[in-house]
Amino acid sequence: MPSQSLLSLLQQGGISLIPLGICSVLVITIFLERLWAFSRLGRHPRELFHRVESRLTAGQWQEALRLLDESPSPYARVAKAGLLRRQASPQEVSDMLTLACEAEVAAASRGLPVLGTIGNIAPFFGLFGTVLGIMRAFQEVSHRGSAEAAAMSGGIAEALIATALGLGVGIAAVIGNNWLQALVEGFRLRLERTATEWVYFLQHLSEPAAERDREPVA
Tens digits of per-residue pLDDT, 49-108? 899 989 888 888 899 999 999 888 899 999 998 888 877 787 888 889 999 999 999 999
* Total number of domains constituting the chain: 1
**Around Cβ 204, how many Cβ atoms within 10 Å?**
11
Answer whether residue 198 is part of any domain: yes
Which residues in 170-185 are b (16+ Cβ under 10 Å) and which e?
A: bebbbebbeebeebbe
pTM for this one?
Answer: 0.77
Answer whether residue 211 is part of any domain: no
Answer whether residue 216 is part of any domain: no
Q: SS3 for 120-140, per residue?
A: HHHHHHHHHHHHHHHHHHHHH
Which residues in 8-41 are b (16+ Cβ under 10 Å) and which e?
A: ebeebbbebbebbeebbebbeebbeebeeeeeeb
How does pLDDT run along the chain (218 residues), one tens digit per residue?
Answer: 444 454 555 555 567 788 888 999 999 999 999 999 988 877 778 888 899 989 888 888 899 999 999 888 899 999 998 888 877 787 888 889 999 999 999 999 999 999 999 999 999 988 888 887 777 777 766 666 555 555 566 567 667 788 888 999 999 999 999 999 999 999 999 999 988 888 888 888 766 544 444 444 33
pLDDT for res 17: 80
Answer whether residue 214 is part of any domain: no
Answer whether residue 118 is part of any domain: yes
Residue 73's φ and ψ, nearest 5 degrees, are: -70, 140
For residue 170, give its domain range: 2-206
Answer whether residue 40 is part of any domain: yes
pLDDT for res 146: 55
Answer whether residue 161 is part of any domain: yes
**Around Cβ 128, how many Cβ atoms within 10 Å?**
19
Please check whether residue 45 is in contact with residue 67, taking contact to mean a CB–CB distance below 8 angstroms: no
Answer whether residue 217 is part of any domain: no
**Around Cβ 152, how many Cβ atoms within 10 Å?**
20
